Amino acid sequence: MAEPLWTADEIVAATGGKLAGKPFFATGVSIDTRTLEPGDLFVALGGARDGHEFVDQAMASGAAGVLASRQVFGSAVMVDDTLAALERLGVAARERAPMARRGAVTGSVGKTSVTQAIMAGLSLAGHGRKDSAHSSVKSYNNHIGVPLTLARMRRDTERAVFEIGMNHAGEIAPLTAMVRPHAAVVTNVGPVHTENFPDGETGVAKAKAEIFEGLEPDGVAVLDADSPWFGLLAEAAQKAGAEVRTFGRGEGCDARLIDFQLEGDHAVVQARLHGESLDFPILQTGAHWGLNAMAVLLMLEALDVTLSDSLAALGSFEPLEGRGAETAIHLKAGGFTLIDESFNANPLSMAAAIATLGARKTAGRRIAALTDMLELGHEAPHFHAALAEPLAAAKVDLVFCAGPLMKSLWDALPPTRRGGYADTAAELSPLVVRAAESGDVVMVKGSKGSKASVVAQALAALERRSGGMG
């Protein structure tokens, strides 16, 4: 039988609620009946669909009990506000694991991948001991995901890392106050969600700097020294009493990137860590992973992970789905390489993905299939048209565009580089599918809301349709 994560008495004490029904213990915490595991505590959150409507389904699926704000069937802890109760449960989880070293990750690009790379290092540092390391699942980085991740943390956790995101100013501060990290990194700052910030990228930088407000005393702030926002971020970190450690390409960085070279299906990073030379392989092929690796090394160091464990973790960490994962699509007449970057996009990540495509050696063509970048405000057409320059620099042979915003890029492309345009990703898919030939490298990228994944899925389905290489 799985060890209890929470007893009913502990949930009552943490949330200030009252037990209704029989005492119970939970082995996990869930907010979604679709992913609920037997033994979980089901938290009935409000929202577009009230979680209380799913309590019967949760109990039928094996939930141990419910955190609820109105009468339900079965064992429950009754509270006034289930989200506030989840937050209190998360804080209680943090407080009962006083030895856990906690890290936090934010940034405009790469939060989830960097968080999971750090988690890979934390897991190695635990020498295989189950539950010694803990992290966010997927992109659980908002006002629900952060307290949920905390509430799932076991009392004997040694190290943990949390992803913290935002769409508006003031959203990171309360989340970092819950986590109370010992180390926090801002991966980068770029024009993301700028439609929600009257002062544009400056507002984004200030919002990211909120992560330092929750740092434990004498905490570590890991920052990109090459960033134009370094001064603003460093000032905020120092104001919070943090020790600033830097990564970048310039001299004087604690983790300095010297070179990043592709070698087949992996890359080799050349760096200097606190002045000492390091050469190590990583499975990531995205050009931005040179600096990401520097950030990961500094965060793992701050969380008491040895350098050997850190390098081993980076050497075995594979690209996440939709975030640079590569697939060889085998066809009867040969095959091509699909680079799936369809999870999300903004000007920073788009430029990095295009540069990575340009660095690829290929027997065929470099093809980019791009869908709209969203939440960029009134400057959105400009940001899309501006992609023509990095596409030219990367010597991309054909560009396919979908969406009203990508029409600005389409209009800016020379005729020789135009592969095809459509209003939607679904309409673009057959154009890209017909164009892909043996030896090509096809990169798909766009915002989640503009459904770039539809194009990636259509290309991946080619192999199933062809029956492989026959």
Residues ≥6 apart with Cβ < 8 Å to 279: 268, 269, 270, 271
Rounded CA-CA distance 53/67 in Å is 13
3-class SS shares of the chain: helix, strand, coil, % to 5: 40, 25, 40
Residues ≥6 apart with Cβ < 8 Å to 263: 281
Q: Return the structure tokens found at 252.
A: 């004087």
DSSP type of residue 261 = E
Burial class (CB in 10 A: 0-12, 13-18, 19+), 411: middle
Instruction: Provide the 3-class DSSP secondary structure of residue 206.
Output: helix
Q: How many residues does the chain have?
A: 470
Rounded CA-CA distance 369/456 in Å is 9
- How crowded is the C-beta side of 152, counted as CA atoms within 13 Å? 26
pLDDT at 128: 59
Rounded CA-CA distance 267/281 in Å is 6
Sole residue written with tokens 């009867």: 332
CATH code matching the domain that covers 325-466, chosen among 3.40.50.2300, 3.90.190.20, 3.40.50.300, 3.30.930.10: 3.90.190.20
Alpha-carbon distances of 326 from 264, 419, 465, rounded to whole Å: 12, 22, 19
pLDDT at 470: 31
Sole residue written with tokens 């990540």: 349
pLDDT at 271: 98
Rounded CA-CA distance 17/233 in Å is 40
Task: Enumerate the domain spans of the chain.
Answer: 6-81, 97-316, 325-466
Q: Return the structure tokens found at 34.
A: 């679709």
320 Cα distance to chain centroid: 9
Residues ≥6 apart with Cβ < 8 Å to 49: none
DSSP collapsed to 3 states, 309-329: HHHHHHHHCCCCCCCCEEEEE
Nearest CA to 381 among 400, 407, 399, 402?
407
Instruction: Provide the 3-class DSSP secondary structure of residue 92.
Output: helix
Look at the domain 6-81 and name its fold. 3.40.1390
Amino acid residing at 59: M
pLDDT at 294: 98
Asked if 334 and 463 count as a contact pair (C-beta separation under 8 A), the reply is no
Nearest CA to 184 among 192, 172, 170?
172
CB neighbourhood size of 393 (10 A): 12
Characterize the bridge pairing of strands 76-78 and 101-106.
unpaired
What are the 10-residue block averages of pLDDT along the chain, 470 residues in total? 88 97 96 95 90 95 96 94 98 96 93 94 82 85 94 96 91 97 94 74 92 96 96 97 97 96 88 97 89 98 97 91 84 86 88 90 94 91 96 97 98 97 97 94 94 95 56
pLDDT at 340: 93
Nearest CA to 353 among 373, 331, 336, 334?
373
H or E element that contains 135: strand 133-135
Rounded CA-CA distance 135/115 in Å is 8
Rounded CA-CA distance 386/403 in Å is 16
Write 415-418 long-range contacts (CB < 8 A, 24+): 417/391, 417/392
Rounded CA-CA distance 105/164 in Å is 6
CATH code matching the domain that covers 97-316, chosen among 3.20.20.80, 3.40.50.970, 3.40.1190.10, 3.90.180.10: 3.40.1190.10
Rounded CA-CA distance 141/110 in Å is 13
Asked if 303 and 159 count as a contact pair (C-beta separation under 8 A), the reply is yes
Amino acid residing at 439: G
Amino acid residing at 83: L
DSSP type of residue 372 = P
CA angle, corner 349, sides to 294 and 390, nearest 5? 110
Q: Return the structure tokens found at 308.
A: 């050997």
CB neighbourhood size of 464 (10 A): 9
Beta bridge partners of 220: 183, 243
Asked if 367 and 442 count as a contact pair (C-beta separation under 8 A), the reply is yes
pLDDT at 194: 66
